[in-house]
Chain A
Amino acid sequence: MSNFPKLINPPIKEIIFTISFSDNIDIEKLDSFKNIPSIQEDFPSITKNIEIGKSKDYEYVLKNEKYLMHPKIGSFSFHRINGYEDYETLVKSIQKYWALFIETCGSLNITNISVRYMNFIEMRQGEKQEELLNIYPKHPFGDSVNSSFMQHKFLSGQVPDLIINVICATTRIDNKVGLVLDILLNKEIKSSSDFNFDSLNELRDIKNDIFFRCITPITKNKYN
C-alpha cells in the first residue's frame, strides 16, 4: 500500500461497496436473506418493498445506524453512513455479509465491483470553489453560483478494466454550502474466478490517489 497523508477529520460522508453479478437469483432466496437471524439482529430497519407486478423488481434495503445494505437481483451494495470507518474494517464487514448472501443465494457469477467515496467539503465565507478543488473550473459568474454539477469519466492507467468517475457538485447539505466530491471506481470482472476481496484492496490506493489529486492544499489543511 502506498503512503498517503492521513487526514485527521476526513470529509467522507458515505462509502459504498457494490458487487454485481449476472445470475438471476431466486426471489424466495433473496427474501430469505433478510430473515437470517443475524441479519435481523444487525439490521433492525427494513424498507418496504415496491413492486409493480414483475418479480424482477423485488428489492429491499436493510439499515442500522452505521450501515445500509441493499441486496437485489443483479447486485449487492454495502454502505457506510453517518461517519467514517477505515477501509480494512469495511472490507471485512462486506466480506462477512457477502458470505451470508451467497450461502443463501448460491454461488454467483461476479461481473463488476465498485468502490465509491463521497466527500462533502464545506465552503467558508468568501472561499471559491476552485480554491478547494483542482478539478473545479474557473468561471465568470462570481459568488452567484449556488448550484453546479460536473462529471469526469476516464480509464485508469494502472489497473485494467477499471473505469473512474469523479463527480463534483456545488450544493447545500444541512444548511452548509459546500462541494460534493464523489469518487467512483468501477472494475469489470471478466471471469468470476478472478474475484477475491484483494480486488477491493487493489482499488484502495487508486481512490486515495484520485482524492489527493483533486483537493488543493487549502482543503488538505482544512481537514488536518
Chain B
Amino acid sequence: MDNLIELKTILNDSEEFSESYKDILDFYTENAFNNLLAKDVKELYSNIINKYDSVLTTFQREALKSIFEKFNFIYLNVDPNRLKPFEHDSTEDSELLLYRTTESGLINIIINPEDYIAFSFIPYKTDTEKKRNFYFIKNDGDFQNLAFHFFSF
C-alpha cells in the first residue's frame, strides 16, 4: 500500500502527464475511498472542491471543510478502515450530496446552498431492523457525530 501511495504521488506530480496517468489507472473514481491509490482525505477533499468549484457557495465550502476535518480525524485518530466508499453529486437545486449505498439503505449528507446540512438514512423495505433517520444541523453543529453516522454501517 505504501508503495502504491508513493507511486501515485509521483505520477500525480506531473503537470503534463498526471491526467493521462489518472485515466490509465482510474484515479478519478467517483467512488471515494474505494480506490487503493487514493492518497488521503485531503486529496479527496481537493478533488470535490475542484469538481464543484463553480457551483459551491461559501456556506457549502465551509460545511464541506468541517465535514472533511472530521473524516480526517477518523482517518488519522480513530481507524482509517472506518472510512468507507461514498459518492458525491450536485443536485438541480444546487445542493451538494455525499451519499453511500449500503446493504441496509441509502445514507446521505445534504449540504444546502444557504443555511443547513441534513443527514438522512432511508432503509430498504426489506430491512426491518434499521429505522429511518433524518436530522438537520447548522454550520456550528456536531460534525463529528455526523461523520460517525455517515460511516456507521
Report yes or no: B65 in contact with A52, Cβ–Cβ below 8 A. yes
Give the docked Cα–Cα distance between A14 and B18 (Å): 11
Determine whether B1 belongs to the interface, using a CB cutoff of 8 Å to chain A: no
Report yes or no: B49 in contact with A54, Cβ–Cβ below 8 A. no
A52-B72, A53-B69 in contact; A14/B15 too (CB < 8 A)?
Answer: yes
Q: Which of A24-32, A164-172, A209-217 touches B?
A: A164-172
Report yes or no: A172 in contact with B20, Cβ–Cβ below 8 A. yes
Q: What residue of chain A has the Cβ atom nearest to residue B73's Cβ?
A: A53
Report yes or no: A169 in contact with B20, Cβ–Cβ below 8 A. yes
Give the docked Cα–Cα distance between A167 and B9 (Å): 13
Residues of A with C-beta under 8 A to B42:
50, 52, 57
Report yes or no: A165 in contact with B10, Cβ–Cβ below 8 A. yes
Report yes or no: B65 in contact with A171, Cβ–Cβ below 8 A. no
Shortest beta-carbon distance, A167 to chain B, in Å? 8
Selected from A13, A16, A147, the residue in CB contact (under 8 A) with B13 is: A16
Residues of B with C-beta under 8 A to A118:
14, 16-17
Give the docked Cα–Cα distance between A163 and B87 (Å): 38
Q: List 29 A-B contacts (CB under 8 A).
A: A13-B16, A13-B17, A14-B17, A16-B14, A18-B13, A50-B45, A50-B49, A51-B65, A52-B41, A52-B65, A52-B69, A52-B72, A53-B65, A53-B72, A81-B16, A116-B13, A118-B17, A147-B23, A148-B24, A149-B21, A151-B7, A165-B10, A169-B20, A170-B24, A171-B21, A171-B23, A173-B16, A173-B17, A180-B21
Report yes or no: A54 in contact with B72, Cβ–Cβ below 8 A. yes
Give the docked Cα–Cα distance between A171 and B25 (Å): 11
Q: What residue of chain B has the Cβ atom nearest to residue A146's Cβ?
A: B24
Determine whether A184 belongs to the interface, using a CB cutoff of 8 Å to chain B: yes
> Would you list which residues of chain A between 36 and 53 have a CB under 8 Å from chain B?
50-53
Residues of B with C-beta under 8 A to A120:
16-17
Shortest beta-carbon distance, A56 to chain B, in Å? 10
A14-B16, A173-B20 in contact; A149/B65 too (CB < 8 A)?
Answer: no
Shortest beta-carbon distance, A169 to chain B, in Å? 6
Give the docked Cα–Cα distance between A172 and B23 (Å): 10
Shortest beta-carbon distance, A162 to chain B, in Å? 16
